[in-house]
Amino acid sequence: MERNEVSVHELRVFLTLRSATAWLSSKEIAQQSKVAERTARAHARKLAAMGLCDVAEVFPGHRYRWAEKAAKRNAGYLQRLERAAEIFGQG
């Protein structure tokens, strides 16, 4: 599931989730990340599948938060995201 490239949108979703203090819906992630809701949902799902964020499957929509053990679950991709944040000047 990993790709070599990190998009600016994925980076924005990552930064939003990492800095959040509460569970966020896709809509909240989208608003804070300044991306489309569909884009926020796709990237949040990807980060959850990679073990970097937790997902709560609740009605009416899933909620996401940064995983406390993200660095242990997928250190390689986390480093790639952090490097992208540095390159884009958004870290």
Label residue 3 by pLDDT band (50, 70, 90). low
CB 37 within 8 A of CB 73: no
Cα–Cα distance, 24 to 26 (Å, whole number): 7
Cα–Cα distance, 20 to 59 (Å, whole number): 21
Question: Residue 71, Cβ neighbours under 10 Å: how many?
Answer: 11
Helices (H) and strands (E) in the chain, counts: 5, 3
Q: What is the tens place of the pLDDT at every residue in 4-28? A: 689 999 999 999 999 999 999 999 9
pLDDT at 28: 98
Domains, the chain, ordered by start: 8-88 (1.10.10.10)
Q: What is the tens place of the pLDDT at every residue in 19-63? A: 999 999 999 999 999 999 999 999 999 999 999 999 999 998 999
Please check the confidence at residue 91 and state whether its pLDDT lies above 80. Answer: no
The Cα-based distances of 43 to 67, 81 in angstroms read 15, 12
Please check the confidence at residue 2 and state whether its pLDDT lies above 60. Answer: no
Please check the confidence at residue 70 and state whether its pLDDT lies above 80. Answer: yes
